[in-house]
Structure 1
């Protein structure tokens, strides 16, 4: 089933990483100083890339490289919590997708105002949300393979490239009087804590990593899926880190401590280059919505499966586990309980297997967990996501605090806590470990602990400092 390549995987992962959050990087440096702010950007890239690496490593170690997902790994570690994990992923991705629509609704009327448009309809946010939903968001969200989004991701990344050029151009041409620069930092504990989520969540892309791994195919030129995935991680994280550093440093140096949390609003509304920059943001977020819809659909499918079959499956799995003294628990019972469902689904309707929904096969060779996603269910779930996203986007104008809570919990879980726990628990220590396996196992424990600390810090910043980034 794999047709993805290193290039397409890198493009899609990079587009998942870089969103409108890149515009807040200068503000992040203002809150921490240039040196300390750059250290936070680089440190966040390292912790995020290690989480991605652990996902890739565990997929290989448990022999799940073709059918891996958070759900399938949870069945090998904490089956009862799998619904919690997938619920967090679906809520997080849904919230981010809605925020993209809100950005469209907020920016397009301002763009029309800059063009001196007076038509009432063209100045209404809901009109533009509807237009972009119909023309861009809906058609792209029904694509079944993540790899199919590589061309739209390229277009979105061109928009990012333009924003970077815009920041550089203004740095070299715009003179701001009496600007103050903090070169070293940190400024204060409060400013660091309030801006900390900007850096931590700037690299959230882990929800799509398993889908990328599943769609890769080993070949003589590029090597194994594991090697290709490592190259994808390196490419995406490196380019994202460099982009954040450029926008953060040069955006902050342009305006100093008067810079706000959205660098694009600092530029003149009457400037053609600034107008194009705002349009680039709209294009970028509209093309990024399907990359949030893809994992959201998969996680919702898992949640539905757990609600219908989860309790009986867990009891059977626990009984089987008592009969095995080593390796992972037997998963044969899952096939027995779902065999008739999956066979009927596959025979009667085309089976969607691009989102990592087929479950996993463990290293003892047990049958995989099958979570069927028929064409009918694919369209029902996707349509539901789109309709609910549209309703929320046109009725709620400010999701800042809600998204801050969702990001603090959901993003932290899928970026640090779950990859870390999977690495620590699934790499068995009852047998001799190589140095790399030992590093991944105990490095995973460190990453999980780091994730819990990040969650505490970000939730505290949201509750007590009113952080909304």
Structure 2
């Protein structure tokens, strides 16, 4: 199955838009309409530049069908590749668990509206019910296979936007007090900063989308990727601004971090809550997909270290060849499982994913996330720490670092665009470090959550 611009845009957009859209009015409350809108747009621009650098770097590796953060790390800082993938895996796993927790929190509220009691308002029951539906979707081997579930999730987002706009045009909310310019205060900006800056995190799936694209009449893979990035980021930004501005003008300074909870109990608001449940449930596989790929890299790294320890006289190249021989060719995943080679012609670094490992890793992710979701009731602060580190690394630091280190032609003078991308990558990497420091500080000292 070959991905298209449409399917890639749908999956990338669904990866971007999650339950965080409900907190956009709170983000504007904390920063004012103008400054808050600027932060939303700025966050979209920085994230899109990171995605663009991923596209550029995949081109320069000469292995566009199988590029990954792991393979790029092998070309830059091989010893840190396992750290990068571990951070990606933890981040995606944590977000997936948070989706299950959201389902457990909202479904009892929905059922109570219809006067259900007892077992029907049990959070664990509804986590289990939706989890059974998530299981088969999590075993799909290509990201492109999730395009139809992503469409359903995005329809839920459209319904939420309609509800927000309907209440915005309701005359009963006219005359509320809002801060137009902003910023309100340094403290309020820092507390809401993680919500806005991580609103566009989707970079963990960008390489998978690139790998599944093929040159068509629509243009090269690079051109198709750029169209996908522009489409997904632009639509997401428009959705965030619409919900943020309309929701803030509806409730003013009384708005909280979940706009849907502000509306009175009604059929429309109850359906809105159900839409959130559907949206996050169908977004879970989009987190499981990159989590599986990164865990496969980590496991491969550990296995090779063990082999090197037991066979100290064996060259790494031989070990890589052994790994290739064990590869089950009946399953060739387009998740970034296989490495790349650089423009100097170095041998490719292959990280195989056998069918056995595919099922074992996926099952492990599902079981662990389910057990954690039914055990804990709040992951806000854990996710804040994971988001501050994992999301920042994926969105800014790694794309910027790879762009700076790899966009360096060996056989010719770099073009103006290549120089801009290289030093722009350095600026993005520095921005990512600053974001990490600010968000971690806000989480520790101000209690901000992701």
- Measured against the shorter chain, the TM-score band is over 0.9
CA, structure 1 residues 279+223, in 2 after alignment: closer, same or farther (shift >3 Å)?
same
Could you tell me which of 153, 172, 177 is aligned with 1:175? Answer: 172
Tell me, yes or no, if the aligned pair for 1:193 and 1:457 is still in contact at 8 Å: yes
Instruction: Decide which of 237, 260, 284 is 2:233's aligned counterpart.
Output: 237
Report Cα offsets for 1:151-199 as digits up to 9, x if no partner.
0000000000000001000111252376211011000000001100111
1:429 to partner: Cα distance: 6.6
Q: Which residue matches 1:385? A: 365
- Residue 260 of structure 2 aligns with which residue? 264
Deviation at 1:362, TM superposition (A): 1.8
Match of 2:302 among 295, 307, 310: 307
Q: 1:375 to 1:311 in 2, by over 3 A?
A: closer
Aligned to 2:322: 340
Secondary structure at the counterpart of residue 56 of structure 1: helix
Aligned equivalents of 1:310 and 1:211: distance in 2? 26
1:150 aligns with 2:142: no
> Quick check: 191-200 or 167-176, which moved more?
167-176
Contact 1:33 1:185 in 2 (8 A): yes
Cα distance per residue 1:379-432 (max 9 Å; x no partner): 000000000000000001010000000000000000000000000011227652
> What's 1:106 paired with?
105
Q: 1:127 aligns with which of 125, 128, 141?
A: 125
Corresponding position of 2:335: 355
Structure 2 Cα separation of the partners of residues 246 and 313 of structure 1: 55
TM-score, with normalisation over the residues of structure 1?
0.92
- Can you list the C-alpha shifts for 1:61-97, whole angstroms capped at 9, x where unaligned? 1212111000000000000000110000000000000
Superposed counterparts of 1:58-457, under 5 Å: 58-118=57-117, 120-135=118-133, 137-173=134-170, 175-176=172-173, 179-219=176-216, 221-269=217-265, 271-310=266-305, 335-346=317-328, 350-428=330-408, 431-457=412-438
Contact 1:352 1:378 in 2 (8 A): no
Shift of 1:345: 2.6
TM-score, normalised relative to structure 2: 0.96
| Contact kept in structure 1, 2:323 and 2:351, CA below 8 Å | no
Cα RMSD, aligned residues only: 1.6
Q: 1:38 to 1:155 in 2, by over 3 A?
A: same
The question of whether the paired residues in 2 share the 8 Å contact of 1:140 and 1:290 is answered with: yes
In the alignment, the residues of structure 2 paired with residue 312 and residue 200 of structure 1 have an alpha-carbon distance, to the nearest angstrom, of 41
Cα gap change, 1:62 to 1:345, in 2 (>3 Å): closer
Please say if residues 66 and 334 of structure 2, whose CA atoms lie closer than 8 Å, have aligned partners that are also in contact. Answer: no
- Are the aligned partners of 1:77 and 1:425 in contact in 2 as well (CA < 8 Å)? yes
Question: Could you tell me whether the CA contact under 8 Å between 1:108 and 1:282 is conserved in 2?
Answer: yes
Q: Confirm or deny: 8 A CA contact 2:37 2:241 kept in the other structure.
A: yes
Query: Deviation at 1:361?
Result: 2.2
Q: Is the 8 A contact 2:174 2:250 kept in 1?
A: no
CA distance in 1, matches of 2:112, 2:307: 58
Counterparts of 1:177 and 1:241, CA distance in 2: 25
1:277–1:174 CA distance, 2 compared to 1 (3 A):
farther
CA distance, structure 2, for counterparts of residue 380 and residue 429 of structure 1: 41
How far apart are the structure 1 equivalents of 2:210 and 2:40? 26
Q: Which runs of 5+ in 2 are unaligned?
A: 310-314
Q: Does structure 1 retain, via aligned residues, the 8 Å contact 2:32–2:181?
A: yes
Q: Which has the larger displacement, 338-347 or 355-364? A: 338-347
Q: How many residues get paired?
A: 445
Whether the 8 Å CA contact 1:174–1:254 is kept in 2: the answer is: no
- Alpha-carbon distance in 2 for matches of 1:263, 1:310: 49
Contact 1:351–1:372 (8 Å) recurs in 2: no
What residue is the counterpart of 2:312 in the other structure?
A: none
CA contact (8 A) 1:141 1:294 kept: yes
Q: Is the 8 A contact 2:16 2:201 kept in 1?
A: yes
2:204 counterpart SS class: helix
- Whether the 8 Å CA contact 2:108–2:121 is kept in 1: the answer is yes
Structure 1: distance between partners of 2:400 and 2:306? 26
Unaligned stretches of 5+ residues in structure 1: 315-332
- Select 1:459's aligned residue among 433, 437, 440: 440
Cα distance in 2 for partners of 1:78, 1:42 equals: 32
